[in-house]
Amino acid sequence: MCGIIGYVGAKPCASILLDGLKRLEYRGYDSAGLAIVNGRIQLRRSVGKLSNLEALLAEAPIEGSAGIGHTRWATHGRPSQANAHPHVVEDVAVVHNGIFENHMELRNVLESQGVRMSSDTDTEIAAHLVHQALNREGASLLEAVRETLKRIRGSYALAVVTSREPQTIIVAKNASPLVLGFGEDEMLCASDIPALLSHTRDIIQLEDGDLACITAGGAHIEDLNGRPVVRPMQHIEWSSVMAEKGGYKHFMLKEIFEQPRALEDTLRGRLHPEAATIHDYEIGLGPSALRSVQRVYLLACGTSYHSALVGRDYMESLARLSCNVELASEFRNREPVVGPGDLVIAISQSGETLDTLMAARLAKQRGAQVLAITNVLGSALARMSDGQFYTHAGPEIGVASTKCFTTQVAALLMLSIFLGRHTGGLTASRAAALIEQLTKAPQLMRQTLADLNEPMANLAKRYAHARDVLFLGRGLSYPIALEGALKLKEVSYIHAEGYAAGEMKHGPIALIDEQMPVIIIAPKDHHFDKTLSNLEEAKARDGQLVAITTSDAKADLARLSNDVFSVEPTDALLSPLLTVLPLQLFAYYVADAKGTDVDQPRNLAKTVTVE
Ligand code: M6R
């Protein structure tokens, strides 16, 4: 995700802003920039690494002791200098993290007023709106930002400066973090604590709906209606490395806990409950392309392949489309029957996995429509595809994919709803019910993580020395079994296998004895009774049974299992979003107990750009 830094005080601030941005580099970015108030707004922006911005500043230094800086990880508009932040409209400069949901609507309004946009970003809209509001007689920057925020829907951490009030920064927060740092006769703001630590350890974390006016002397915080708000001051003891991980021991754990927020960002602005469908403005497939879809292929590798397996159920049951799921590395090396009439959905967190790229290219060459589900805007996969559906999970730093799995699942569910409404396979009432459940899913995830974190840490201690672990599941829980096994093996180096529970009798049952932990994913769905029989069979072989279920079935499983953990019931189609969470936690805590390099496990790369 993007990074924000702001400074107001007595010192020259260019190097302070640059230093702050460097401390946010670990989050990933594709362009950077800063704006300093020095009589007017002075702007420097560059694509690529911060060293490019540093070189630009060395060539053309800027004086001034109040300013804002930003590292951008593209979400709307490809990485480019024009799309880099800050966005400046005459004497106003804005940096923003998050997504404005109604940016298209506001862009149309501004363009109809004759405003010319100079970027593809949603953020530029805020710069124009603040500028317009400031021009109304007597408006202060605080009032102008407040007025602007009333017109904007979505998530934001925002910092705004104007040369009309050279020693003021206005900041605001909604669903994207923003922290104030209190120095000696100087104030800072940042999207993350590490950016502040070389100046101060006294901070205030803003809450959603907060708006603050900061000057060298301190901060005045209020709500969007102008009512003063008091937030507690905290003294941070973390080292800067701990601060990068948000206080978590590893990025993997941080990213597991980020999932509710990541899911909110994936859903943001896409659900259309009134029309019982999903907004189509970014899917990139026009009505005639959609009408021609006869069959869907889902292509991916690794964890993304597991989300594709979940997606197949969605495509079949909601869109009523025939759907093949393929490992990209296999697909591209066969003679697949693919061509016009096929919609190929290539799924890749990075958008750079070579096998997925090559498989998508092959399908495209043969006349299929290609739609990318990816987390990285402007990635190679996004560029070569006819349409792009971004997961907006934010950068995933841990090699083991966690938040990108759940956001891919959500993306596939949304696309299946969308296609189902087009094919007529899905009724408006069923679509509306799914959309309603989707909006509740982030909160259910939060609750699951809070309820199961400690129990999974305790379970992991007991099984950290297992040699093998078997994961079983049916239906939508089968890909979750595969994903649980993959997570465990990649971070803990324990041999783990995921199986369709119905396959157990066809071989894997031979492995089960009193030494073998068997983790069964069995939410109360229409497979439940059959999975229960599998559990009975595993128990008869003295396996160590761990069940992951829904709370309405906990009692049924308790008599058969050594341990039972439950998530809240939801629509059966959404259960993977919850049942995968305890498995991610289990893998993480086993690895941590074994002392492996959790974030960078041996032999693995985050992005596999070779065959
Ligand atoms: O970037 P991609 O989604 O294309 O990556 C695919 C796999 O390399 C990736 O999911 C890998 O399996 C992860 N390490 C799993 O945690």
Q: Whose alpha carbon is nearest atom 12 of ligand 1?
A: 302
DSSP for 162-183 reads ETTSTT-EEEEEEBS--EEEE-
CA dist 494 and 251 (Å) reads: 20
List the one residue out of 164, 80, 172 whose CA is nearest residue 126: 172
Tokens of 68: 């804002």
CA dist 524 and 513 (Å) reads: 26
Atom of ligand 1 nearest to the CA of 604: 14
Query: Chain-centre distance of CA 177, in angstroms?
Result: 14
Instruction: Please tell me if the CB atom of residue 399 comes closer than 6 angstroms to any atom of ligand 1.
Output: yes
- Distance, CA 496 to ligand 1 centroid (Å)? 17
Element (H, E) at 302: helix 302-314
List the one residue out of 312, 346, 348, 343 whose CA is nearest residue 332: 346
CA atoms lying within 13 Å on the CB side of residue 385: 32
CA dist 433 and 128 (Å) reads: 38
To test ligand 1's pocket by mutation, which of 349, 412, 583 has the most ligand atoms within 8 angstroms of CB?
349
Q: Which of 23-27, 173-177, 349-353 has the lowest mean pLDDT?
A: 23-27
DSSP for 260-303 reads HHHHHHHHTTTEEGGGTEE--TTT---HHHHHT--EEEEEE-HH
CA dist 96 and 194 (Å) reads: 18
Highest mean pLDDT among 47-51, 475-479, 597-601: 475-479
DSSP for 93-126 reads EEEEES-BTTHHHHHHHHHHTTPPP-SS-SHHHH
Instruction: Please tell me if the CB atom of residue 121 comes closer than 6 angstroms to any atom of ligand 1.
Output: no
- Distance, CA 516 to ligand 1 centroid (Å)? 27
Q: Whose alpha carbon is nearest atom 14 of ligand 1?
A: 400
Query: Chain-centre distance of CA 511, in angstroms?
Result: 37
- Distance, CA 301 to ligand 1 centroid (Å)? 6
Q: Whose alpha carbon is nearest atom 8 of ligand 1?
A: 302
> Which pLDDT score, from 0 to 100, does residue 83 have?
95
C-alpha distances in angstroms, 492 versus 284, 588, 590, 592? 40, 8, 6, 8
Q: What is the DSSP letter of 152?
A: -
The mean per-residue pLDDT over the stretch 287-304 comes to 92
Contacts of 595 (CB under 8 A, 6+ apart): none
Amino acid at 119: S
Instruction: Please tell me if the CB atom of residue 379 comes closer than 6 angstroms to any atom of ligand 1.
Output: no
Which residue's entry shows tokens 């909006």? 439
> Which pLDDT score, from 0 to 100, does residue 278 have?
87
Please answer whether residues 267 and 407 qualify as being in contact, where contact means their C-beta atoms are separated by less than 8 angstroms. Answer: no
Q: What is the DSSP letter of 228?
A: B
Dihedral sign from CA coordinates of 587, 590, 594, 595: positive
Please answer whether residues 243 and 196 qualify as being in contact, where contact means their C-beta atoms are separated by less than 8 angstroms. Answer: no
CA dist 447 and 427 (Å) reads: 30
- Distance, CA 351 to ligand 1 centroid (Å)? 10
Q: How confident is the model at residue 13 (pLDDT cuts 50, 70, 90)?
A: very high
> What is the arrangement of strands in the sheet containing 387-390, beginning at the earlier edge strand?
322-327, 295-300, 342-348, 369-374, 387-390
Please answer whether residues 179 and 207 qualify as being in contact, where contact means their C-beta atoms are separated by less than 8 angstroms. Answer: no
CA dist 503 and 472 (Å) reads: 9
> Which pLDDT score, from 0 to 100, does residue 342 have?
96
284: how many CB neighbours lie within 10 A of its CB?
16
Instruction: Please tell me if the CB atom of residue 348 comes closer than 6 angstroms to any atom of ligand 1.
Output: yes
- Distance, CA 375 to ligand 1 centroid (Å)? 12
- Distance, CA 311 to ligand 1 centroid (Å)? 16
Give tens-digit pLDDT for 536-567. 999 989 889 999 999 999 999 998 999 999 99
Instruction: Please tell me if the CB atom of residue 307 comes closer than 6 angstroms to any atom of ligand 1.
Output: no
Q: What is the DSSP letter of 603?
A: T
Of the two residues 168 and 515, the one the predictor is more confident about is: 168
To test ligand 1's pocket by mutation, which of 353, 356, 486, 606 has the most ligand atoms within 8 angstroms of CB?
353
Instruction: Please tell me if the CB atom of residue 484 comes closer than 6 angstroms to any atom of ligand 1.
Output: no
Q: Whose alpha carbon is nearest atom 4 of ligand 1?
A: 348
> Which pLDDT score, from 0 to 100, does residue 44 have?
97
List the one residue out of 395, 412, 413 whose CA is nearest residue 404: 395
Instruction: Please tell me if the CB atom of residue 148 comes closer than 6 angstroms to any atom of ligand 1.
Output: no
The mean per-residue pLDDT over the stretch 110-120 comes to 95
Tokens of 226: 């102008």
Amino acid at 392: H
Contacts of 598 (CB under 8 A, 6+ apart): 250, 252, 253, 398, 400, 491, 588, 591, 592
Q: Which sequence positions are flagged as catalytic?
A: 2, 606
Please answer whether residues 29 and 47 qualify as being in contact, where contact means their C-beta atoms are separated by less than 8 angstroms. Answer: no
CA dist 513 and 387 (Å) reads: 49
Give tens-digit pLDDT for 296-309. 999 999 999 999 99
Coil vs helix vs strand at 305? helix
- Distance, CA 306 to ligand 1 centroid (Å)? 10
Please answer whether residues 91 and 49 qualify as being in contact, where contact means their C-beta atoms are separated by less than 8 angstroms. Answer: no
Percent of the chain with pLDDT over 90: 80
Instruction: Please tell me if the CB atom of residue 490 comes closer than 6 angstroms to any atom of ligand 1.
Output: yes
Which residue's entry shows tokens 């994961």? 471
Atom of ligand 1 nearest to the CA of 607: 1
Instruction: Please tell me if the CB atom of residue 181 comes closer than 6 angstroms to any atom of ligand 1.
Output: no
List the one residue out of 201, 293, 277 whose CA is nearest residue 239: 201
Which residue's entry shows tokens 């799309």? 83
Please answer whether residues 171 and 231 qualify as being in contact, where contact means their C-beta atoms are separated by less than 8 angstroms. Answer: no
List the one residue out of 589, 571, 265 whose CA is nearest residue 444: 571
To test ligand 1's pocket by mutation, which of 255, 256, 303, 403 has the most ligand atoms within 8 angstroms of CB?
303
> Which pLDDT score, from 0 to 100, does residue 138 have?
82
Q: What is the DSSP letter of 389?
A: E
Contacts of 178 (CB under 8 A, 6+ apart): 4, 157, 158, 159, 171, 172, 189, 190, 191, 205, 206, 210
> Which pLDDT score, from 0 to 100, does residue 288 have?
81
To test ligand 1's pocket by mutation, which of 301, 491, 610 has the most ligand atoms within 8 angstroms of CB?
301
Q: What angle do CA 579, 583, 585 make, to 5 degrees?
A: 115
Give tens-digit pLDDT for 481-533. 999 999 999 999 999 999 999 998 899 889 999 999 999 999 999 999 999 99
Atom of ligand 1 nearest to the CA of 605: 14
Q: What angle do CA 197, 446, 559 make, to 5 degrees?
A: 135
- Distance, CA 350 to ligand 1 centroid (Å)? 8
To test ligand 1's pocket by mutation, which of 251, 252, 255, 304 has the most ligand atoms within 8 angstroms of CB?
304
Query: Strands (DSSP E) along 139-248, which ranges?
Result: 156-162, 169-174, 179-182, 187-190, 202-205, 210-215, 218-222, 234-235
To test ligand 1's pocket by mutation, which of 599, 608, 610 has the most ligand atoms within 8 angstroms of CB?
608
Instruction: Please tell me if the CB atom of residue 608 comes closer than 6 angstroms to any atom of ligand 1.
Output: yes
Which residue's entry shows tokens 């031979």? 510
Please answer whether residues 86 and 95 qualify as being in contact, where contact means their C-beta atoms are separated by less than 8 angstroms. Answer: yes
Instruction: Please tell me if the CB atom of residue 302 comes closer than 6 angstroms to any atom of ligand 1.
Output: yes
Ramachandran bin of 382, using left for φ above 0, alpha for ψ from -120 to 50, beta for the remaining angles = alpha
Q: How confident is the model at residue 24 (pLDDT cuts 50, 70, 90)?
A: confident
- Distance, CA 547 to ligand 1 centroid (Å)? 26
Whether the pLDDT of residue 429 is over 90: the answer is: yes
Amino acid at 316: E
Give tens-digit pLDDT for 310-359. 999 999 999 999 999 999 999 999 999 999 999 999 999 999 898 999 99
- Distance, CA 356 to ligand 1 centroid (Å)? 10
CA dist 463 and 482 (Å) reads: 18
Instruction: Please tell me if the CB atom of residue 400 comes closer than 6 angstroms to any atom of ligand 1.
Output: yes
- Distance, CA 303 to ligand 1 centroid (Å)? 5
Contacts of 7 (CB under 8 A, 6+ apart): 13, 16, 17, 20, 65, 66, 67, 186, 187, 188
- Distance, CA 114 to ligand 1 centroid (Å)? 45
